[in-house]
Amino acid sequence: MTGAADIAGLPAGLPKRPASRGLASPLLVGLGLALACAAPLGLNGYALYLLTLAGIFALVALGLNLLTGYAGQISLCHAAFFGVGAYATALLTTKAGLPYLVSLPLGALLTTAIGAAAAVPALRLKNLYLAIATLGFGVVLQKIIFEWRDLTGGGGGLALSAPTIAGYELGATGLYYLTLAFVILGLWGAWNVSRGRTGRALRIIKESEIAAASLGIHIARYKVTAFALSAFYAALAGGLFAYLVRYINPESFNVGLSIAFLSMVVIGGLGTIGGSIVGAAFYVIVPELLRGIKDAPGLVFGLLLVVVMVFMPQGLWGMARRLVWKR
Amino acid sequence: MTRLAIENVSVDFGGVHALKDVSFSFEAGSIVGLIGPNGAGKSTLLNCISGITRPTTGRVRLGETVLSTRNAADIAGQGIGRVFQHPELVLDLTARDNLLIACHRSLDYGLLSELLMLPGVWRREREAAQRVADVLRRLGIADSADTEVRSLPYGHRKLIDLGRALLMDIGFLLLDEPIAGLNDPEIAHLTALLLELRQEFGFGILVVEHNMPFVSRLCERLVVLDLGQLIADGLPAEVLSDARVISSYLGEAADA
């Protein structure tokens, strides 16, 4: 049988992308990278803490955006993945005595398996139904951390000392650079996936599962992949978070945090990689900037969220992209 | 020559018989029209072939391979392409990226190499992009390659949907009302294109369509369904003059 794909004999060479896009992107990336590398020089301790936190949340948002923005699967259990990653990394480091740089990816891999299990309801459920199912899943994970007192210390939480890498104690600046390295790697990976075969499969699954299947895409496999991959990102971030705050408690990883993660993705821009970074930065930094406003920082921040959503439904990044690249 | 065979297929939806013991088969390279009044079971039959609906009894066979026990993605992988009545495209992706989605099966690199963008991935992506560019040119919409589908006319979108099937190495193509919503020049273009593509690639086409002039120009054989049963099967001229077909379908169409 002749394959419809073997249409041959046509000249090679792809049409060029508009020049503005080709130039603006590396420029923006370079500028952001330079700023991020230089940041610890000009910032005080608290500001550096906030920036590290923004980086950690950006990592979660990158993974969650692949799941929610690309594949269209809502999750309200990412705070639990974040928490499991935090606990797994902390316990592997303190109780199993593994080096921090080993326990971090190991804890994330463990959480990846749990993330894959969380995909099972997604094979049957959609939208709000899936949201509630994942909410339940998150509550169960949080409860397990709470009840497994021998291992996790239960409600009393877990106090941690500064992590060490090859004998050197990792201070605030060190942890910032470690986070930055993971954000860059995570950004690069998410960018590649979003442009590749998996990202495209996720996009069409979000659009129409029937169409995706008729193009030979195994829906279940990709939903599991998306959940697992985004759990990996969340858990890696959790492992960094544990050593940023040096004290973790099951209470911190509640549904409120899951909703915050979801908000970052939506504010930044669903289905955009840059949006994950912008959304996380917005969520961490803007409330701090509003502290000066007497009595009502929460009120202003809440209203700001409403305004962003009403006037920029495609998110901050989506808006910027339309303005800068005219698309 | 590969045959696609529908063998004694029945589908019950909770007591409603959508299809009753339907059997017919056709070869790669032939074009068969599937006609009948609304609710006759035409779409259900397409869904059975592409694995979206499982037959209650009976089976669908491609050559020696039984399709009806497999899932939709595997059936697509066996070379059964499907073009929907309303093209299901990702609106904020370009025409090119929408077509790249259909290269899914031929791009078989793993997730890890994709995350790291290994050189192999890069090379395979470039090959796929080339095949997409060729298909866009073949469909006559190469100019729209970099345009978001959102801003493309409906006719272009239908062609992109057809292009996705072409990228999948298909042996059979299922078309669900391909000309609904198209204007006359677009219909003429699509008719000529389908005949050419069939000649070039040798795939078989099963087409559901209400427009009789289009059906008679395209199809070499017609199969008629009414209330889930096959009531006629033969050359277009014979079928269209069949008394039962006229009373159940064409008469209704004339009244309407």
Interface confidence (ipTM) of the complex = 0.90
CA–CA dist A243, A176 (Å, integer) = 11
Amino acid letter for position B194: L
Interface of chain A against chain B, CB under 8 Å? Answer: 1-5, 7-8, 10, 12, 14-15, 17, 188-189, 192-193, 196-198, 200-201, 203-204, 206-208, 210-219, 225, 229, 271, 327
User: Does the pLDDT of residue B252 top 70, yes or no?
Assistant: no
* Inter-chain CB pairs, A–B, below 8 Å: 129
User: Does the pLDDT of residue B250 top 70, yes or no?
Assistant: yes
**Chain A neighbors of B164, CB-CB under 8 A:** 215
pLDDT along chain A (327 residues), means of 10: 36 39 73 88 91 97 96 95 97 94 96 94 88 93 93 89 87 94 95 94 95 94 96 98 95 94 94 93 89 76 87 88 72
In B133-212 the beta strands, taken as DSSP E runs, fall at 172-176, 204-208
**Chain B neighbors of A192, CB-CB under 8 A:** 114-117, 121
- Mapping DSSP to helix (H, G, I), strand (E, B) and coil, where does residue A181 land? helix
Q: How many CA atoms lie within 13 A of A178 on its CB side?
A: 22
**Chain A neighbors of B84, CB-CB under 8 A:** 210-211, 214
Instruction: Indicate yes or no: CB of B131 within 8 angstroms of CB of A3.
Output: no
CA–CA dist A105, A119 (Å, integer) = 21
User: Does the pLDDT of residue B231 top 50, yes or no?
Assistant: yes
Residue among A1, A188, A197 minimizing CB distance to B104:
A197
Distance from the A45 Cα atom to the nearest Cα atom in chain B, whole angstroms: 34
- Mapping DSSP to helix (H, G, I), strand (E, B) and coil, where does residue B30 land? coil
Residue A281 has a pLDDT of: 94
Distance from the B92 Cα atom to the nearest Cα atom in chain A, whole angstroms: 9
User: Does the pLDDT of residue B216 top 50, yes or no?
Assistant: yes
Q: Give the pLDDT band of residue B161 (cuts 50, 70, 90).
A: very high
- Mapping DSSP to helix (H, G, I), strand (E, B) and coil, where does residue A271 land? coil
Instruction: Indicate yes or no: CB of B90 within 8 angstroms of CB of A201.
Output: no
Residue B253 has a pLDDT of: 52
**Chain B neighbors of A193, CB-CB under 8 A:** 111, 114-115
Instruction: Indicate yes or no: CB of B76 within 8 angstroms of CB of A215.
Output: yes
Instruction: Indicate yes or no: CB of A213 within 8 angstroms of CB of B131.
Output: no
Q: Which residue has 């309801």 as its token pair?
A: A121
**Chain A neighbors of B176, CB-CB under 8 A:** none
Instruction: Indicate yes or no: CB of B73 within 8 angstroms of CB of A17.
Output: no
Q: Which domains are seen in chain B, by residue range? A: 1-79+170-181+203-256 (3.40.50.300), 90-169 (no CATH)
Distance from the B68 Cα atom to the nearest Cα atom in chain A, whole angstroms: 14
**Chain B neighbors of A219, CB-CB under 8 A:** 73
Instruction: Indicate yes or no: CB of B76 within 8 angstroms of CB of A4.
Output: no
The secondary structure of residue A65, as a DSSP letter, is I
**Chain A neighbors of B103, CB-CB under 8 A:** 197
Distance from the A73 Cα atom to the nearest Cα atom in chain B, whole angstroms: 16
- Mapping DSSP to helix (H, G, I), strand (E, B) and coil, where does residue B106 land? coil
Mutate which of A203, A210, A215, A229 to disrupt the B interface (most B C-beta within 10 Å)?
A215
Mutate which of B88, B94, B143, B172 to disrupt the A interface (most A C-beta within 10 Å)?
B88
* Residues facing residue B81 across a β-bridge: B173
What's the mean per-residue pLDDT of chain B? 92
Q: How far apart are the first and last CA of chain A?
A: 41
Distance from the A86 Cα atom to the nearest Cα atom in chain B, whole angstroms: 23
**Chain A neighbors of B144, CB-CB under 8 A:** none
Amino acid letter for position A43: L
Q: How many CA atoms lie within 13 A of B240 on its CB side?
A: 15
**Chain B neighbors of A17, CB-CB under 8 A:** 146
Per-residue DSSP letters for A209-235? HHHHHHTT--HHHHHHHHHHHHHHHHH
CA–CA dist B147, B135 (Å, integer) = 16
Instruction: Indicate yes or no: CB of B167 within 8 angstroms of CB of A4.
Output: yes
CA–CA dist B2, B6 (Å, integer) = 13
Q: Which residue has 């890890």 as its token pair?
A: B112
Instruction: Indicate yes or no: CB of A216 within 8 angstroms of CB of B114.
Output: no
Angle between helix axes A127-147 and A255-268 (nearest 10 degrees) is 140
With 0-12 / 13-18 / 19 or more C-beta atoms within 10 angstroms meaning exposed / middle / buried, residue A208 is middle
Residue among A3, A201, A208 minimizing CB distance to B104:
A201
Q: How many residues does chain A have?
A: 327
Nearest-by-CA chain A residue for B27: A1
Distance from the B195 Cα atom to the nearest Cα atom in chain A, whole angstroms: 14
Mutate which of B84, B114, B161, B162 to disrupt the A interface (most A C-beta within 10 Å)?
B114
Instruction: Indicate yes or no: CB of B167 within 8 angstroms of CB of A5.
Output: yes
Q: Give the pLDDT band of residue B83 (cuts 50, 70, 90).
A: very high
Distance from the A292 Cα atom to the nearest Cα atom in chain B, whole angstroms: 40
Residue A248: name the closest of A30, A126, A102, A93 by CA. A93
Distance from the A122 Cα atom to the nearest Cα atom in chain B, whole angstroms: 18
Residue A29 has a pLDDT of: 82
Q: Which residues lie below 8 Å from residue A56, measured CB to CB, with a gap of 6+?
A: A179, A237, A240, A241, A244
